[in-house]
């Protein structure tokens, strides 16, 4: 009823306003029409009585003329009649002629002026006509008509107009309500059909429903699934995803399942340092995200052994238990020849796919020899997955662009495996990806996955468009499923995150101590403002653009010279690639030029940029996060960027400001950060100044919102969603088998 009133009330109000506005117009038109009719009638009467009236006047008998006037005024509408022989004097008239009409004021009623005279008995129409007939004397005839009937008819007209619009409003309202009710019932029935039970968009009953609601239904089903998962967590007393809650859920949903992670980068690297072996954790968003999952789930992590002491610590089967301080899972290390590493990793993956997917204005390089190594290494990792599988149907989490061919290879060797591939970098549009000479093979290899995950929905859209462009596959854009060769791949969005809450080794040191130590180590005054940037030394991270923004800040706001320094931690990476060598040289040269410009010789004061191209342990990075006033993430293109989330996690004091590139996936989740275009140095400089001058209250308000989001949507939730989706997929896949067993059991019984 309320929905119907939303249609009816505005319609009725509009029609009522229209009727109210049109009634005066109708009155004016009606009056104009009747005045014209009175003029015509007066002309006819004057022409008819002109000759006899002039004869009466010529005879000089006023009594006969008065009697003549009385006979004429017997007409119900002719109110009075008069005759003026001259321009002065009283008119010869019937008894009802108004006193306002005299022979000396007849001019106002002649011509095209107003012929209506107001009187106590109502409006009167006055017409003055000149009379002449043959040789008889001329004069002026005054005809006065009663116009009270006009008011009666105007009232009737207004009443008819009101009834007309009332009826029109009722009819239109009735039609509107009926159509709305029928349409609403149809939509509700279609939506109910889409959401009924375990209905899927590919079922006949769904296809017969309203097709425009199928995408909405898919989103609602996902939302309901997420809400049910959250409700289960709350029922179990869990308010946030943690390692323990993830382990408990997986033990319930994936009890006894074999879980394997495959990535190029290993979570722990053993390096020979003189006489002893040092264990390092690489600066990698992938490791930051995946390593807590393995702690929670146990299992095996297959990776390339790249450390100088990696071979020295593995057992006979190339396994090593990690973490060193409290082993929770094992790493299986694979060994690559220098030629394989150069072709597969440095060549095809990082000179080809990396710039291609990031669209970072660096020309991708593709070589046939690199492609051959890429295929061979993917095949080597596929064999390792088979060797490490304890069952014929393991759950394999394939990580990143180094293994685009691996899902299809695993599918060929372990047909019952559930393969989840997560693509940690952006996926470009079909036109850009078509640059790759082996584009069809890469997409086909990825479609060997059971679930294919990306950070953002736009990356999912780009991948589905690429499949549609390159392969003869069936693409369901409503459910985001791709069918190729009888195998179905679900394309899903899983925004990656970080471990939450950070361990005491990361945030155990008070913020005040971190600030004091970082300033002391860098010879900075105790009240010196500090910015922090943490990246691999990669051209996609926008370090050059970041330095230019700092330079622009010093130009626009010279008061920050000597009062603000930006510490850039840049972990060396892929230093054998010429593009990275050139990038490092450019970063060093730009930092030196800016420091020289704003720290001239003979002038004391800290430099604007403190560049540290060296490896830092994670606890050291967190120490810098906690000491900084602002963190600047200026990536030119990033799938997610976990540095932004790490900075938020480190700030349990609810201080500090995050300046974040709009071209990161994190920018879609963290609108409370200062979002900037890294290519716009002026905008970035303004954001830095705003960050450095932001009040503590605003910092706290922004940081609280971001910490709440990162805490709720942490890495355990990211992993849990993927693995729970895998569990559901595995149960559905076993339904025919279970049904067959039940049928067989019933027959035997």
Supply the Cα-derived Rg of the chain in whole angstroms. 45
The reply to whether 350 and 293 lie within a common domain is yes
Is residue 171 situated within a structural domain?
no
The reply to whether 453 and 511 lie within a common domain is no
Report CA 391 to chain centroid distance, whole Å. 43
The reply to whether 475 and 624 lie within a common domain is no
List pLDDT tens digits, range 197-217. Answer: 444 444 444 444 455 555 555
Burial group, residue 720, by CB count within 10 angstroms (0-12, 13-18, 19+): buried
d(CA 433, CA 423): 14
Is residue 666 situated within a structural domain?
yes
The larger pLDDT score, comparing residue 187 to residue 421, is at 421
List pLDDT tens digits, range 89-101. Answer: 778 888 888 887 8
Name the domain boundary from 118, 137, 153: 153
Is residue 524 situated within a structural domain?
yes
Q: Which among 322, 300, 299 has a CA at the least distance from the CA of 310? A: 322
Residue 481 has phi, psi (to 5 degrees) of -125, 140
Q: Which among 479, 501, 478, 487 has a CA at the least distance from the CA of 444? A: 487
The reply to whether 513 and 487 lie within a common domain is no
Helix (H/G/I), strand (E/B), else coil: 51: helix
The reply to whether 539 and 481 lie within a common domain is no
**Count of other CB atoms within 10 angstroms of residue 160:** 11
- Region of poorest pLDDT, from 1-10, 173-182, 267-276, 483-492: 1-10
Which are the contacts of 288, defined by CB distance < 8 A and separation ≥ 6? 498, 499, 618, 642, 646, 715
Name the domain boundary from 449, 468, 493: 493
List pLDDT tens digits, range 542-587. Answer: 999 999 999 999 999 999 999 999 999 999 988 888 899 999 999 9
The reply to whether 485 and 542 lie within a common domain is no
The reply to whether 679 and 540 lie within a common domain is yes
Q: Which among 463, 490, 494 has a CA at the least distance from the CA of 478? A: 490
- Region of poorest pLDDT, from 89-103, 344-358, 423-437, 518-532: 89-103
Domain count, the chain: 4
The reply to whether 263 and 349 lie within a common domain is yes
Is residue 743 situated within a structural domain?
no
Helix (H/G/I), strand (E/B), else coil: 155: helix
Is residue 464 situated within a structural domain?
yes
Cβ atoms 702, 480 nearer than 8 A: no
pLDDT number for residue 97: 83
Is residue 248 situated within a structural domain?
no
d(CA 66, CA 139): 16
| CATH code for the domain in which residue 134 is found | 3.30.450.20
Cβ atoms 534, 632 nearer than 8 A: no
Q: To the nearest 10°, the Cα dihedral for 475, 476, 477, 479?
A: -140
The DSSP annotation for 308-324 comes to TTHHHH--TTSEEEESS
Which are the contacts of 289, defined by CB distance < 8 A and separation ≥ 6? 496, 497, 498, 642, 715, 718
pLDDT number for residue 622: 97
The reply to whether 31 and 145 lie within a common domain is yes
d(CA 584, CA 536): 11
Is residue 250 situated within a structural domain?
no
Q: Is the pLDDT of residue 741 over 60?
A: no
The reply to whether 548 and 622 lie within a common domain is yes
The DSSP annotation for 239-277 comes to SS--HHHHHHHHHHHSTT--EEEE-SS-S-EEEEETTEE
Cβ atoms 264, 345 nearer than 8 A: yes
| CATH code for the domain in which residue 282 is found | 3.40.50.2000
Cβ atoms 261, 300 nearer than 8 A: yes
List pLDDT tens digits, range 350-406. Answer: 999 999 999 878 899 999 999 999 999 999 999 999 999 999 999 999 999 999 999
Please give the sequence-ordered ranges of beta strands (E in DSSP) within 423-467, or none if there are none: 451-454
Cβ atoms 398, 407 nearer than 8 A: yes
The reply to whether 125 and 224 lie within a common domain is no
Is residue 263 situated within a structural domain?
yes
531 in the Ramachandran plot: left (φ > 0), alpha (ψ -120 to 50) or beta? beta
Cβ atoms 133, 47 nearer than 8 A: no
Question: What is the b/e burial string over 647-672, where b = at least 16 CB atoms within 10 angstroms of the residue's CB?
Answer: bbbbbeeeebbbbbbebbbbbebbeb
The reply to whether 511 and 479 lie within a common domain is no
Name the domain boundary from 471, 493, 515: 493
Domain hosting residue 441, numbered range: 257-493
């Amino acid at each position: 009823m309320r929905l119907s009133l939303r249609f009816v009330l505005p319609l009725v109000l509009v029609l009522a306003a229209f009727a109210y506005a049109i009634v005066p117009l109708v009155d004016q038109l009606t009056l104009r029409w009747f005045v014209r009719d009175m003029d015509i009638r007066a002309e006819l009467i004057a022409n008819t009585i002109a000759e006899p009236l002039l004869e009466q006047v010529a005879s000089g008998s006023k009594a006969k003329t008065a009697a003549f006037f009385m006979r004429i005024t017997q007409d119900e509408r002719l109110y009075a009649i008069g005759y003026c022989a001259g321009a002065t004097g009283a008119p010869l008239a019937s008894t009802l002629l108004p006193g306002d009409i005299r022979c000396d004021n007849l001019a106002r009623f002649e011509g095209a002026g107003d012929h209506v005279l107001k009187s106590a008995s109502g409006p009167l129409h006055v017409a003055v006509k000149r009379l002449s007939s043959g040789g008889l004397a001329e004069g002026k005839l005054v005809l006065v008509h009663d116009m009270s009937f006009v008011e009666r008819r105007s009232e009737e007209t207004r009443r008819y107009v009101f009834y007309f619009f009332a009826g029109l409003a009722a009819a239109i309202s009735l039609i509107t309500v009926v159509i709305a009710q029928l349409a609403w019932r149809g939509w509700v029935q279609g939506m109910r059909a889409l959401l009924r039970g375990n209905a899927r968009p590919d079922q006949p009953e769904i296809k017969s429903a309203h097709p425009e609601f199928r995408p909405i239904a898919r989103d609602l089903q996902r939302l309901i699934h997420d809400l049910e998962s959250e409700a289960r967590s709350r029922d179990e007393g869990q308010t946030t995803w943690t390692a323990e809650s993830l382990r408990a859920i997986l033990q319930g949903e994936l009890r006894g399942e074999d879980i394997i992670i495959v990535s190029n980068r290993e979570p722990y690297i053993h390096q020979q340092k003189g006489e002893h072996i040092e264990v390092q954790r690489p600066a990698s968003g992938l490791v930051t995200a995946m390593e807590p999952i393995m702690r929670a789930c146990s299992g095996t992590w297959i990776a390339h052994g790249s450390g100088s002491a990696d071979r020295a610590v593995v057992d006979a089967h190339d396994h090593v238990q990690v973490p060193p301080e409290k082993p929770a899972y094992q790493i299986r290390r694979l060994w690559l020849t220098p030629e394989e590493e150069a072709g597969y990793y440095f060549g095809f993956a990082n000179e080809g796919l990396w710039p291609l997917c990031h669209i970072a204005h660096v020309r991708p390089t593709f070589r046939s020899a690199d492609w051959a190594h890429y295929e061979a290494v993917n095949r080597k990792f596929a064999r390792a997955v088979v060797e490490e599988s304890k069952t014929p149907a393991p759950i394999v989490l394939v990580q990143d662009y180094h293994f685009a061919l691996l899902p299809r290879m695993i599918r060929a060797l372990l047909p019952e495996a559930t393969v989840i591939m997560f693509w940690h970098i952006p996926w470009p549009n079909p036109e850009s990806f078509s640059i790759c000479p082996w584009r069809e093979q890469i997409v086909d290899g990825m479609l060997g996955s059971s679930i294919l995950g990306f950070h953002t929905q736009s990356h999912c859209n780009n991948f589905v468009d690429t499949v549609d462009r390159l392969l003869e596959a069936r693409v369901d854009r409503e459910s985001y499923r791709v069918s190729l060769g009888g195998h179905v791949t679900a394309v899903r969005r899983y925004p990656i995150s970080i471990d939450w809450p950070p361990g005491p080794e990361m945030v155990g040191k008070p913020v005040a101590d971190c600030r004091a130590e970082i300033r002391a180590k860098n010879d900075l005054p105790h009240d010196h403002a500090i910015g922090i940037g943490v990246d691999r030394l990669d051209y996609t991270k926008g370090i050059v653009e970041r330095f230019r923004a700092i330079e622009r800040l010093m130009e626009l706001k010279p008061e920050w010279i000597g009062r603000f320094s930006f510490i850039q931690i840049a972990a060396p990476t892929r230093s054998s690639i010429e593009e990275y060598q050139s990038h490092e040289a450019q970063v060093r040269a730009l930092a030196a030029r800016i420091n020289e410009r704003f720290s001239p010789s003979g002038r004391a004061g800290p430099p604007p940029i403190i560049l540290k191209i060296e490896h830092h342990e994670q606890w050291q990075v967190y120490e810098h996060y906690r000491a900084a006033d602002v963190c600047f993430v200026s990536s030119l293109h990033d799938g997610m960027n976990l540095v932004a989330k790490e900075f938020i996690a480190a700030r349990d004091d609810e201080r500090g400001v995050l300046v974040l590139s709009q071209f990161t996936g994190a920018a879609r989740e963290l609108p409370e950060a200062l979002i900037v275009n890294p290519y716009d140095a002026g905008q970035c400089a303004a954001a830095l100044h705003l960050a450095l001058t932001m009040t503590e209250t605003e910092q706290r308000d922004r940081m609280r919102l971001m910490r709440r989001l990162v805490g709720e949507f942490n890495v355990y939730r990211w992993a849990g969603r993927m693995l729970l989706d895998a569990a559901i997929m595995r149960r559905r896949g076993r339904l025919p088998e279970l049904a067959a067993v039940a049928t067989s059991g019933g027959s035997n019984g």
